[in-house]
Structure 1
Amino acid sequence: MSTSDIDYRNTAAKRYVSYLAELEQPNGAGILIACNALDVEEHEREIARRLADLGYVTLLRTITTSAK
């Protein structure tokens, strides 16, 4: 399994955080999990990894911006 943190900003320079989890050979399906938090916590990361273990490419992203 591969995982990675994705940190990006929109055109207004507002920061968003995402976490991607996927198997080397995923099943072709994907899941987007949107959480209303400033950062991705370990609990949400574990959920993404569990779904990735089932073969889903899982992207967990925040929908609230951070001032960082």
Structure 2
Amino acid sequence: MAKYLASEYCKEVVEDSFRIHGGYGYSKEYEIERLYREAPMLLIGEGTADIQRMIIGRRLLEEYKART
């Protein structure tokens, strides 16, 4: 769960920062340009968000079944 949330929050923060920087966000002089390019790779590199959600759901269902 932590991996999924960290990846999602990272992408959200980078997108907000990119909007704040405006046109400067496209300039290679600023770190935000690199972060904006690399943030989506966190979601892909760690397994797609859909797969991570599926794994989380499966584990929650297993815990629920074990308790009932």
If the length of structure 1 is used for normalisation, what is the TM-score? 0.27
**Which has more radius of gyration?**
2
Comparing both structures, which one devotes a greater share of its residues to strand?
1
If the length of structure 2 is used for normalisation, what is the TM-score? 0.27
Comparing both structures, which one devotes a greater share of its residues to helix?
2
